[in-house]
Every structure is written in C-alpha cells, then in structure tokens.
Structure 1
Amino acid sequence: MKNLPRLRYFIYLSLIILGGCTTGKNALQKGDYDASVAKAVGRLQNSPKNTEAMQVLKMAYELALQDHLRKINEAKLSNDLFRWESIMYDYQKINQLADDINSCPACLVIVPNPIKYIKELADSRYNAAVARYNSGMAYLNENNRLSAKKAYYEFEKVQNLQPDYKDVKTKMDDAFWAAVTRVVVQPIIINRGPYKLSGDYFQQQIDQFVSNYARNKFVIFYSEDQATTDKVIPDQVLSLNFDDFVVGQTYVKERVEKLKRDSILVGETRDKKPVYGTVTATLSIFEKSISSSGLLDMTITDWQSRKIIKQQKFPGTFVWRDSWGSYQGDERALNKNQLAMTRRKEILPPPPGALFLEFTKPIYNQLVENISYFYNSY
C-alpha cells in the first residue's frame, strides 16, 4: 500500500508526458512547428475537444506559416541559382499544413481559413525548372563527357519539375549520348582444337556479363559483331587474350609404407588355444595430380589515341587430384582407411576442355569484378 501513491504519481507523470507528445506541445517547444501542427491535428481528429491540442494548433500554425514565409522571402533575395527549389519546398509545406487542417473538422474551428498558395507554388516550380534547364544547357555546351553527365541530371530534374518544358526530352537524350562511353569487347581467339569449344563458352560468359551490365547507365558494351552491325564508333576497346595456358600437366607420386600390427590372431595350438603374433604388409599409395593454368591479359585502349587506359593480368589455376593404393602381405596389418584406399581404382581425369573451363573460373571472377570496379563510377 505504501507504493500506491508513488505508482499513481508515475502514471500521472506518464500521462502528462504522453499528452504533451501526442498534442504536439513538445515539438512546439523545440521549434518544430510543422511536426507540432501535424501532431495537434492527429490528436484533434481522435479527440476533438482536447484543449491543449487546440492551443498548440493555433500557436503552431501561426508560427509555421510565419517561418515558411520568412524563408521564402529570404530565398527570393538570395543569389542562389536554384533558390526557386527551396521556395517551392516552403510553399509545398504551407499547402500541406492547410490540407492537414482541412481534413480535420475540429481543427477548422481553430484555424477557419488555412492559407494555400496554389499559383505561387506553380510559379516557383516553373522557375525552378527554368533554372535547371539553363544549368543543363550550360553544361551541355562545354562539350565534354563529364559535363554532359551533369547536364543529363539537370535535364532529369527539369522533367521531374515540368515534364513538358521546352525540348527537355530531346536535350536529355542529347546529354545522355554525349555522356556515354561506348566500349567494344573484342573476342578471345583460341585456335587450339581441344580448347576451342571451352574458349567459346568462356567468351559467352563474358558476353553475357557485359550485355547485362547496368550499374552505370553511361557505359554501354558492344560485341564486335554488334558494333559493326550498328556502325558504332567506340570510345574504348576492351581486348582479352591469354598470354599462355597449360592444360594437363600430370604428376604421379608413389609413397611406400611398411606396416605391421602386433597381437593379431595367427593360428591355434593342437589343443585349440589361440596363437597371437605380428602381421606385416607393404602399402603403396599413388597420388596423381593434373594441373591446368592460364594467364589472361585485359587491356582497355582509347580508340582515338590508341593509348592504353588500363591493363591487368588475371591468373587462374585448377588442380585435379586422384589417389589409390595397393598392398603386399597380410591385409590385417592395414587399418580401415588404408584398406579402403587399396580397393579404389585409378579413375580417368576430365577431358582437356573441362580442365580448361575449370581454370578459367577464378579468372572470370577476377575479370568481372575488375571491369565492374573500373566502370561503375566511370
């Protein structure tokens, strides 16, 4: 019973704090007038006679309106080329406040005629589009790739503000193609018979990667055939060639072990008593490894100057292994694993084409990671 007054106190204090939060009082005290209006409106929608929410709404709306109008006036006096975007933002916030209040009958008793700036918002949006369009044209006229990228993003903002403004769609398209880097990927040439099909498959994997590349919209990859068909003049050429590769280097190693085991039942006496002794065997273990490896050269060259922009080499190795065994002597000298090894037979290795593909797998992973890293922010 002694704790009851304390419990009531904490409940009362929690209700005060909760009431202050839901009515927007705390937000008002912190100077967040928009949030204060939103919370007061929410409170009055659920509890139309909440006195504190009414008081908060009246004060918060007046302060929010004054604050946004002050920011609008300051922005109009500034030299910021893109000031109309901040002006537009503040008009949007004022109009949102009005929409919130208009959705709440109890709120309209407190603020009967919330102000909306429809024309002013439309004008500021238009002026913001004009500023971005002019900025985009200035970048586009610099006639270089980086400026064209900036122009593209400026025209993209214009479209978001005023979709049908002037010839923005055409200018956006012009900027895009001025910003694009066209990369022709030359095929890997492998004329050695057993590996041609595997080399073609490796090439197909690369072609699939570059054709699906979409991380940077301003980089487009073409195969040689596609570039010829579409009459594409490349900006860069990406060539891939194996400096060298070796498939099927075979190594066989034999390891001989002398084995013996004591206390093994080897017979019995005439009176049927067991006789224990030592058994021995010679175990031969054969280990075969077939190594395949290669080194791929990637070179990116500027088409006009013929200068090398980037060059890197990617190594790859694959080792196929097999093991088996045989023994002479008493098999009881062998443990379970050794005995299982002697029952295995030598198996045929994969064909050369399969070995070729295996050593290209780590090369492919390195290659696509490197291409992505180079072009993602190019």
Structure 2
Amino acid sequence: MKNISRLRYFIYLSFIIIGGCTTGKKALQKGDYDASVSKAVSRLQNSPKNSEALQVLSTAYNLALQDHLRKIDEAKATSDKYKWETIMYNYQKINQLSDEINGCPACLVIVPNPSKYISELAESRLNAGIARYNSGITLLHLNSRQSAKNAYYEFEKAQNLAPGYKDAEAKMEDAYWAAVTRVVVQPIYVNSGLYKLSGDYFQQQIDQFIGNYSRNKFVIFYSEQQAANQKIVPDQVLSLNFDDFVVGQTYVKERVEKLKRDSVLIGETRDRKPIYGTVKASLSIFEKSISSSGLLDMTITDWQSKKVVRQQKFPGTYVWRDSWASYNGDDRALNKQQLAMTRRKEILPPPPSALFLEFTKPIYNQLVDDISYYYNNY
C-alpha cells in the first residue's frame, strides 16, 4: 500500500512539473501572444533545445509585436483624449517582451534583435501626462466641488505620468482645496452643572474622532475654536444637542418566595436515632434598577443656504442593576445560591455623572458610524 501511495504521489508531482513547463502552445492557439512568449521563454531557460518552445517563440513573438503595433496605430487614429495611455501601455508590453527574450540566451538564437521602443515610450508617457493635465484644467474651470475633485485626480495622474510637468503640482493643490468640504463641529451644550464633566468627556471623545478622521481626504472637520483661530469659512456646520436626558430613574421590586425542603435532619430521639422533617422559610428578593437615557440630535446644515442637509437622532440607555435578599425561617430551606444572595447587602449605585457617561456610550457609537457613513464617500 505504501508503494502504491508513493507511486501516486510521483505521478501527481510529474503532472505538476509537466504543467508548469508548458511551451506556450495553448496560449498561442488562444491568441494570447504575450503569455505564449513568456511561457516559451520560461521553458527555454530550463530546456534551451526544446524544439516546440523554439517554434512557439518564433511565431508568438512576431504575432505579439504585430498585435501591439496595430493597437498603437489604431489608438493614434482616434480622438480619445486618453489615447496616449493606450499607446504607452502597448509600448510597455513590447519592451517587456524584449527584456524577457534578452534574458534568455537560447531565445536570442530565434529572435536575435527583439524590438524595443524607449524614446517612443517616453514620448507617449509625456503625452499621456499632458492629456491628464489638460483634462484637469478643463474640470477645474467648471467651478464645482465634484469637478474639482475629478480635477485633483487628473493632476495626480499627470504628476505620475510626467513628473514636474508645468504647474501640475500647484494645480493639484488648487483642485484639492476647491474640492474640500470644511465642516465645523459645534460643541455639545449640557444644561446642567451636575453633568458638565461627563458632557466634557463625551465632547472630548467626539473631538478625538473628528481629529483623527482620515477616510475621505476631501472632508476636513474643525472645532469651533480651530475654525475661529484659522479664520475658516465652513461649508457645513454639524451641531449636536441633547433633545432630552433623564438620569437616575430608580425602580425597586420585591418578590417573595415560600420555600420548603423535606427530609431534613431536625433532631434525634432519646436513643439517638435521627428525626427527619420539613423545614420552611420565606425568601424576599429585592431587585433595584436605575435607568438613565437620552436622545442626541445631530443636524448638518449648509452654511450658505442654511438648509438642513441631514438630521439624525440617536437614543442611548444604560440600566444599572443590583439585587439582594433576606429571609425569615429556617435557612436550611434555601439552596446555596439563595443563601449567598441573603449575605449580599445593597450597594450604592454609581454617581449621576457616571450614569450620564454610560448612556452616552451607545449614542457615541451610533453617532460616529453615521458621520462616517455620510462623509466617507462625500
């Protein structure tokens, strides 16, 4: 059985090796000339005299070269403003094939002088960058936020294609600031000195979130203080206010259970024989809950039109609970859990400021999720 398993393993391994050493013939038959050249080169690097790979390389390279030159001529004849990127791509593919063949001595016997278009590639790359630059200028003159955003990406591509071309970098900066939405976040006002510290902490969490926000580069959040210091004219104002909140609503419930247990040792006879009987007890279970809740209103307003562009309300609730018990009667009627409950004493609840902070936690999670949802693709 072991020999059979080994034989199967070697047969499987042989199929993998054979499959990995393809000559590129199948790719050639499918018209994928680039892949056919690459596979033939790979095979000839390992097996320089492979006749099938030599034949495939000769045919596939000529077809690949003709195919790319045809696509270049067709692109040049079009009015597509991005045609130079198509031309650049095809020159890159031709040069890549040349590099692959030049790295294979056996391949150079079949294709001794693979074509390479260095200056043509450089020219097409420059022209592609110029086309992107001109497109960015056109978009920037449309004077809309979306067109400025598109212009930014055009100038960015121009910089990648033709670094240092004209003032593309400066224009990209202009487009960025024309596309940016400046959002001033107003502080939350809590109309109670008792909860001021908790309200301040809640505000700090929000400030930290907007200060670290980076999902959309075209949205910048400012606190009111930052906006005043930097003399920022906002595009939108995000205001947060508690419509209402209640802290410390207390509820106490008492539940009485009548307990009894049979066959409990309750004494002995004069001749020391055990006496079994029923024991009883009355268990009073107390449950205290202190509920705190609030409703936060988020309103986003357009600064110029004063129109509300988004309004959401986020509820939050926190319930603090405690329980304890007392009993009358025979403690042997109680189980271990019930007995442990009777040994617990009522504990003091958290202070109101802590309860306030607790009910704002689910509000905060909803708030930042909604802000992210609205602005991430704004």
Q: TM-score, normalised by structure 1?
A: 0.95
Task: State the match for 2:182 in structure 1.
Answer: 182
| SS across alignment from 1:271 | coil
- Structure 1 segment 53-64 matched on structure 2, within 5 A: 53-64=53-64
Give the 4+ runs in structure 1 shifted more than 6 A. 14-17
SS of aligned partner of 1:234: coil
Give a deviation string over 1:30-51, Cα, whole Å, max 9, x none.
1111111111111111221111
Displacement of 1:218 after TM fit?
0.3
Q: Deviations over 1:180-200 (max 9, x none)?
A: 000000111124122111111
Aligned in 2, Cα 1:16/1:55: closer, same or farther, shift over 3 Å? farther
Question: Residues of 2 paired with 1:334 and 1:325: CA distance?
Answer: 11
Taking the aligned partners of 2:332 and 2:20, their CA distance within structure 1 comes to: 87
> Paired residue for 1:252?
252
CA distance in 2, matches of 1:212, 1:138: 33
Q: Give the length in aligned residue pairs.
A: 370
Residue of structure 1 equivalent to 2:41: 41
Q: Return the alpha-carbon distance in structure 2 between the equivalents of residues 162 and 299 of structure 1.
A: 44
- For residues 63 and 353 of structure 1, the distance between their equivalents in structure 2, rounded to whole angstroms, comes to 78
Match of 1:4 in 2: none
The aligned residue for residue 205 of structure 2 is: 205
* Distance in 2 separating the partners of 1:324 and 1:253: 11
Given that 1:301 and 1:307 are in contact with CA atoms closer than 8 Å, whether structure 2 keeps it comes out as yes
Summarize deviations over 1:291-342 as a string: whole Å, max 9, x none: 0000000000001111111111000000000000000110011111111110
Which residue of structure 2 lines up, in the alignment, with residue 196 of structure 1?
196
Match of 1:313 in 2: 313
For residue 118 of structure 2, what is the aligned residue in structure 1? 118
In structure 2, what residue type is equivalent to 1:145? R
The answer as to 2:148 corresponding to 1:148 is yes
* 1:216 alignment partner in structure 2: 216
Alignment of 1:71-82 (within 5 A): 71-82=71-82
Give the structure 1 partner of residue 343 of structure 2: 343
The alignment partner of 1:305 has SS state of: coil
Change (3 A) 1:15 1:259: closer
* Distance of 1:270 and 1:17 partners within structure 2: 96
Q: Secondary structure at the match of 2:22?
A: helix
Which segment drifts farther, 75-84 or 293-302?
A: 75-84
Partners of 1:288 and 1:321 within 8 A in 2: yes
Give 1:228 deviation, angstroms.
Answer: 0.6
CA contact (8 A) 1:239 1:300 kept: yes
Question: What do the CA deviations read for 1:79-137 (whole angstroms, capped 9, x no partner)?
Answer: 21111110110000001111111111111111111111111111111111111111111
Q: Does the CA contact (< 8 Å) of 2:295 and 2:314 recur in 1?
A: yes
- In structure 1, give the amino acid aligned to 2:195: Y
The residue identity in structure 2 corresponding to 1:289 is: S
- For residues 322-337 of structure 1, the aligned pairs below 5 Å read 322-337=322-337
Do the aligned partners of 2:21 and 2:43 also contact (CA within 8 Å) in 1? Answer: no
Distance in 2 between residues matched to 1:63 and 1:313, nearest whole Å = 65
1:21 and 1:27 in contact (8 A); partners too: no
Q: Is the 8 A contact 1:247 1:291 kept in 2?
A: yes
In the alignment, the residues of structure 2 paired with residue 17 and residue 268 of structure 1 have an alpha-carbon distance, to the nearest angstrom, of: 90
Question: 1:94, 1:115 within 8 Å by CA — same for their partners in 2?
Answer: yes
Task: Report the Cα distance in structure 1 between the residues aligned to 2:359 and 2:19, rounded to whole angstroms.
Answer: 69
Q: d(CA) in 2 for partners of 1:25 and 1:140?
A: 50
Corresponding residue of 2:103: 103
TM-score by length of structure 2 reads: 0.95
In structure 2, the residue corresponding to 1:201 is in which secondary structure?
helix
Q: Please provide the CA RMSD for this pair.
A: 1.9
Contact 1:185–1:224 (CA<8 Å) still a contact in 2? yes
Distance in 2, matches of 1:190 and 1:312, equals 19
- Deviation string for 1:11-58 (max 9, x for gaps)? 7xx779937952111111111111111111111112211111111111
Q: CA deviation at 1:158?
A: 0.3
Contact 2:262 2:278 in 1 (8 A): yes
Give the conservation status (yes or no) of the 8 Å contact 1:20–1:26: no
CA distance in 2 between counterparts of 1:344 and 1:137 reads: 76
Gaps of 5+ in 2: 1-6
Matched, 1:358 2:358: yes
Change (3 A) 1:356 1:58: same
Give the Cα–Cα distance (whole angstroms) in 2 for the partners of residues 360 and 300 of structure 1: 20
